[in-house]
């Protein structure tokens, strides 16, 4: 493993983190029976991204700051109040489910951000029903036969027996007289947002074909921020592999030069899709991503033997990310390297979650995070290993392990998203450099 550490005081030498082949420094973002991994804020508008014009309607938004401009951070709840709130959510009585307005939290370095009200979730428009043009290239809908496995074990051992699902996304194909390299963009816990489309526009302008996957619309899901168990993390990775199978057969795409770029929950999905123990039973041993770019990925689920074959992996995460465990991201990359994989991680000094977004840092107060929760490892046949017993159990689900973290009082409220200074530019440079190093231009 090669580690790059950024610092506001200058570059520091990268120090690889080695603790055997597995490091148990877990992170789960838990709200009652739910886990939250990541967040995003999208504003209703016609958004111009470079040469792209994107219409985004009905997306969740946050609230305006107080008249004073800056409000003090909310005090952290005690363990007893966390337990009460967790019970409220289990009983369906938590007011946060009504999408009440979060209050932005000021900081002497950034001040408070003025944000609009969050609209009702049923105002959202499916991504497939939007007209999107990126860098002068119109997006066309592409259907992806996928599935909804209950857990990793079902996905690996009975992929054809999983509940079928027709996923979809938009394919952007720049004019070319030869098959193009492609980058698949996979969103996080608020679905496809303007930041993902901005990255897609940058990649299209650089000459890549781009496929933006929408895992939420076909499932009638608006957001998983408050409940990550609406569908499994195995299903997220299944979507990515199903899309790879469709894209690799497209005559305009070079099947040997397909990269997957996932953000937050999407980062988890692309990492899992790179694991041969997961991918081989679903798409076969001969089909693989050339590269995976995992952007602040939640790594609370890790295969105990993370062989990735020929895929090259890079993760990027901020050292101040409080939605997840940075050490867990490092341990995942380190474990891949220990079994012979080509994997690197860049830790960006002073950066929070979603530091690629062009917006100032603010707090999502309803986020429930648990950076100290242990890692859930997965054995080769997909059974989760219960960290409380050390035993693999093929019946365990995401929900069961998230509840284990709650029962251990590992949660707390509130987490940050946004960027500072030139962090979004830094991200774009890293993104382009990585894809170019694998796919060419």
Domain boundaries, the chain: 2-439
In CATH, the architecture of 2-439 is 3-Layer(aba) Sandwich (3.40)
- Among residues 348, 407, 438, 414, the alpha carbon closest in space to that of 6 is found at 348
pLDDT of 226: 80
pLDDT, one tens digit per residue, over 266-321 is 999 999 999 999 999 999 999 999 999 999 999 999 999 999 999 999 999 999 99
- What pLDDT sits at residue 285? 97
Nearest to 268 by CA among 22, 5, 27: 27
- How far is it, in rounded angstroms, from Cα 364 to Cα 361? 10
The pLDDT confidence band at residue 368, using thresholds 50, 70 and 90, is: confident
Contact 269, 300 (CB under 8 A): no
The total of other beta-carbon atoms located within 10 Å of residue 187's CB is: 26
More confident: 104 or 358: 358
Query: Cβ distance 373 to 380 under 8 Å?
Result: no
**120 pLDDT more than 90:** no
Q: Is 392 helix (H, G, I), strand (E, B) or coil?
A: strand
* DSSP secondary structure letter of residue 249: T
Who wins on pLDDT, 234 or 10? 234
Range 48-74 average pLDDT: 38
pTM exceeds 0.85:
no
What mean pLDDT, rounded, does the chain reach?
79
Residue 360 phi/psi, 5° resolution?
Answer: -70, 160
- Quote the pLDDT of residue 99: 31
Residue (of 151, 149, 146) closest to 165 by Cα position? 146
Task: Give 28-95 as a DSSP string.
Answer: B-EETTEE--------SEEEEETTEEEEE-S----PPPPTTS--PPPPPPPHHHHHHHHHHHHTT--G
Which comes out higher in pLDDT, residue 101 or 320? 320
Using alpha carbons, list the distances in angstroms from residue 109 to 70, 206, 286, 404.
11, 34, 50, 37
The pLDDT confidence band at residue 56, using thresholds 50, 70 and 90, is: very low
Indicate if the pLDDT at residue 146 is higher than 80.
yes
């Amino acid at each position: 493993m090669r580690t790059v550490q950024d610092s506001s005081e200058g570059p520091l030498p990268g120090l690889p983190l080695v603790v055997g082949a597995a490091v148990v420094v877990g992170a789960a973002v838990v709200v009652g029976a739910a886990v939250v991994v990541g967040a995003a804020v999208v504003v209703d508008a016609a958004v111009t991204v470079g040469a792209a014009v994107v219409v985004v309607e009905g997306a969740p938004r946050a609230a305006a700051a107080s008249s004073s401009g800056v409000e003090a951070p909310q005090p952290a709840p005690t363990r007893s109040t966390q337990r009460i709130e967790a019970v409220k959510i289990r009983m369906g009585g938590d007011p946060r489910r009504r999408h009440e307005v979060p209050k932005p939290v000021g900081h002497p370095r950034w001040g408070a951000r003025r944000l609009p009200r969050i609209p009702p979730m049923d105002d959202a428009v499916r991504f497939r029903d939007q007209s999107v043009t990126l860098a002068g290239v119109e997006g066309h809908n592409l259907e992806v036969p996928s599935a909804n496995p209950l857990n990793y074990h079902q996905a690996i051992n009975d992929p054809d027996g999983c509940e079928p699902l027709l996923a979809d996304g938009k394919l952007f194909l720049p004019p070319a007289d030869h098959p193009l390299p492609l980058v698949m963009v996979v969103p996080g816990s608020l679905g496809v947002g303007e930041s993902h489309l901005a990255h897609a526009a940058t990649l299209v302008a650089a000459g890549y074909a781009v496929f933006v996957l929408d895992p939420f619309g076909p499932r009638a899901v608006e957001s998983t921020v408050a409940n990550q168990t609406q569908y499994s993390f195995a299903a997220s990775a299944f979507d990515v592999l199903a899309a790879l199978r469709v894209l690799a057969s497209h005559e305009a795409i070079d099947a040997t030069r397909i990269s997957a770029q996932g953000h937050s929950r999407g980062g988890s999905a692309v990492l899992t899709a790179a694991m041969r123990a997961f991918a081989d039973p679903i798409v076969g041993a001969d089909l693989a991503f050339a590269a995976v770019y995992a952007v602040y990925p939640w790594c609370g689920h890790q295969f105990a033997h993370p062989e990735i074959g020929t895929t090259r992996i890079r993760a990027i995460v901020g050292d101040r990310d409080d939605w997840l465990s940075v050490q867990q991201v490092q341990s995942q990359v380190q474990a891949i390297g220990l079994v012979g994989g080509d994997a690197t991680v860049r830790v960006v000094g002073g950066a929070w979650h979603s530091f690629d977004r062009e917006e100032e840092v603010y707090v999502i107060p309803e986020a429930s995070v648990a950076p100290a929760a242990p890692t859930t490892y997965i054995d080769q046949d997909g059974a989760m290993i219960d960290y409380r017993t050390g035993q693999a159990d093929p019946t365990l689900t995401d929900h069961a392990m998230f509840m284990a973290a709650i029962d251990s009082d590992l949660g707390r409220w509130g987490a940050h998203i946004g960027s500072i200074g030139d962090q979004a530019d830094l991200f774009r440079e890293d993104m382009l450099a990585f894809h170019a190093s694998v796919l060419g231009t």
